[in-house]
Amino acid sequence: MKKTALLIGALVLALLLALAAVLAWQVLRDEDPGVATPVADRAQQLRQGQYLARAGNCMACHTMRGGAAYAGGRAIDTPFGALYSSNITPDKETGIGNWSADDFWRALHHGRARDGSFLYPAFPFPSYTKLSRDDSDALFAYLQSVQPVGRPNQEHALRFPYNQRFLLAFWRALYFEPGQYVAESGQSVQWNRGAYLVQGLGHCSTCHSERNSFGASVSPLQLAGGMIPGLEWYAPPLNGERRHGLGDWQAEHLGALLKTGVSPRGAVFGPMAEVVGKSLQYLDERDIAAMTLYLQSLPPSPASPSTTRQQPEAAEAERILQAGKKLYGELCVDCHGSKGQGNAPDYPPLNDNQAVAGPSAVNAIRIVLNGGYPPSTTGNPYPFGMPPFGPRLSDQEVAAVVSYIRNSWDNRAGFVSPVEVNRYRSVPLD
């Protein structure tokens, strides 16, 4: 018994020493923020900061529905529990009014709060670390100029042990490496600008990469697509894969999708509609073109999800397709056409549409069940919408029509089961 107690004590001591070492390393590897560049034109810095805030879609996460801008409180659902965004208005009691530009840069670059505590990576500092100091200072200056709001931050609702913030030291040791974006010398200025936006402030990998069991993005630079944790939407690949990615898109079509939410190849719905409506539509054409160039240059990833799905027996498959074809003729053909060609930009095509015939059927299922609209943008101020068919169709009928669309014309994807449909019937829209 005495030997067992000594062994347990030794193990506990070893774990405590390891934790202390990791904590010390995380603190010591913080870079000196340096000296901020003096600002000659304060008004220009504020304009740049506002532009960057929109490019990073800061308001979307840091504004709860019906709440004051940037005052926080929006719930971010994760597999580990709910986190609540913080108040980033310049209120001195509850916001960041007492922060300095150095404090703000440390939060973006190192994922550390003003008091030195580790920030949860739901705040995408693994991407924001790539921002330049000048851009960080401009963003901070703009946030300091918005209306202060006295709204206390809400405690996160995370399960044990994820609510133990000090354990983030281990997560950071495994999955986080701070470092500003360094331009690739073999690429053009435009390509590097696109990479800077996509990898950094745009934090595209937050949604468009698979995540492991610890919530870390898998191969974030490959943008191979994945399910968005907590939201139950599938974010398709943004790399050069031809079948499900952007490899065979025309650059102007991709640019239109990012800027307006609609294009001849498809339209955005779900979380991406919010990104376009609140963020991307405000970027200038040069930045949209730079992001387009960069994304289409990414090589297809061998880690891209497989499209292999269990298929029903031939007779059952034919029955499902016939039932789906009948429903499509009754409900869909007037807008989307007899060959799934659509009528762009009002009604997106369903043929050769990665959102419909991609590795996951969840987006198609949810759109049929709940309907939806692309965002209202300057380039498409009055978007046409999709009515919800969930109240009208059974799980079997939704499965049939989605299976028909995913296996007609040029689409060759898996069938959908009524069980899958039922799983998403009760999922909230956001």
Average pLDDT, the chain: 90
pTM of the model as a whole: 0.89
Complete domains list, the chain, with CATH: 23-175 (no CATH), 189-297 (1.10.760), 314-425 (1.10.760.10)
Q: What angle do CA 324, 375, 54 make, to 5 degrees?
A: 140
Q: Which of 356, 176, 375 is nearest to 262 (CA)?
A: 375
C-alpha 94/C-alpha 76 separation (Å) is 19
In single-letter form, the type of residue at position 53 comes to A
Percent pLDDT > 70 in the chain is 89
Stretch (H or E) spanning 346: none
C-alpha 96/C-alpha 108 separation (Å) is 13
Asked if 380 and 374 count as a contact pair (C-beta separation under 8 A), the reply is yes
82 versus 23: the higher-pLDDT residue is 82
- For residues 253-275, give the mean pLDDT: 95
Q: Name the 3-class secondary structure at 178.
A: coil
C-alpha 74/C-alpha 82 separation (Å) is 10
pLDDT (0 to 100) of residue 344: 85
pLDDT (0 to 100) of residue 16: 47
4 versus 108: the higher-pLDDT residue is 108
pLDDT (0 to 100) of residue 25: 44
What letter does residue 81 receive in the DSSP assignment? E
Asked if 418 and 395 count as a contact pair (C-beta separation under 8 A), the reply is yes
**Residue 3 pLDDT greater than 70, yes or no:** no
Supply 113's token pair.
Answer: 């709060």
CA dihedral over 328, 334, 336, 340, signed as positive or negative: positive
Q: What is the pLDDT of residues 220-247, one digit of tens each?
A: 999 999 999 888 899 999 998 888 889 8
Q: Which of 428, 352, 375, 406 is nearest to 267 (CA)?
A: 375
Stretch (H or E) spanning 205: helix 205-208
The beta strand positions in 270-366, using DSSP E, are none
Q: What is the pLDDT of residues 191-219, one digit of tens each?
A: 999 999 999 999 999 999 999 999 999 99
Q: What is the pLDDT of residues 334-362, one digit of tens each?
A: 999 999 999 988 899 999 998 888 889 99
- For residues 112-131, give the mean pLDDT: 96
Q: What angle do CA 372, 377, 383 make, to 5 degrees?
A: 40
The string of DSSP codes covering 389-428 is -TTTS-HHHHHHHHHHHHTSTT-------HHHHHHHHTS-
Asked if 353 and 265 count as a contact pair (C-beta separation under 8 A), the reply is yes
Report the Cα 428 to chain-centroid distance in Å. Answer: 17
Instruction: Assign 38 a pLDDT band (cuts: 50, 70, 90).
Output: confident
